[in-house]
């Protein structure tokens, strides 16, 4: 599951698997092997999360569907139009709130570990 989410994020990013592997200090062959494993060491997850700008908790949130946020919406205070429906927008807001919550939990956990 974690490997799938990493692959999904890489596909959505402007990076290739080779680029991600190089940036986290491994060969692309080793990264492909890593993505097939049941579990991934936290040091690798942290590097990947930092590079792809997602919280580490993203990889463990089962409700996370990888919703796209690249939409074109135009309008003013009284009306709007675009390529996203109200329901999709609400789902997106919920998703972003979950990401924020995961990031806050990660920050709180990290602060709790610092003494």
pLDDT number for residue 68:
45
Q: What are phi and psi of 84, to 5 degrees?
A: -135, 140
Position 5 pLDDT exceeds 80? yes
Q: Is the dihedral of CA 68, 70, 76, 79 positive or negative?
A: negative
Mean pLDDT for 51-73 is 66
**What does the mean pLDDT of the chain come to?**
80
**Residues 24-61 pLDDT 10s:** 999 999 999 999 988 888 899 899 989 988 888 887 76
**How far is Cα 72 from Cα 110, in angstroms, rounded to an integer?**
36
Domains of the chain, each with CATH number or no CATH: 2-113 (1.10.260.40)
State pTM to two decimals: 0.52
**pLDDT bucket at 18, cuts 50 / 70 / 90:** very high
**How far is Cα 36 from Cα 32, in angstroms, rounded to an integer?**
7
pLDDT number for residue 60:
76
**Which residues does 83 contact at the CB level (< 8 Å), separation at least 6?**
71, 72, 73
């Amino acid at each position: 599951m974690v490997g799938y989410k990493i692959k999904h994020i890489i596909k959505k990013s402007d990076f290739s698997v080779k680029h991600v592997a190089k940036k986290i200090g491994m060969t692309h062959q080793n990264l492909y092997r890593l993505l097939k494993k049941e579990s991934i060491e936290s040091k690798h997850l942290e590097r990947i999360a930092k590079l792809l700008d997602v919280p580490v908790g993203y990889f463990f949130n089962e409700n996370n569907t990888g919703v796209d946020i690249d939409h074109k919406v135009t309008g003013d205070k009284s009306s709007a139009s675009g390529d996203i429906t109200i329901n999709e927008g609400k789902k997106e807001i919920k998703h972003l709130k979950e990401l924020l919550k995961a990031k806050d939990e990660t920050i709180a956990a990290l602060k709790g570990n610092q003494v």
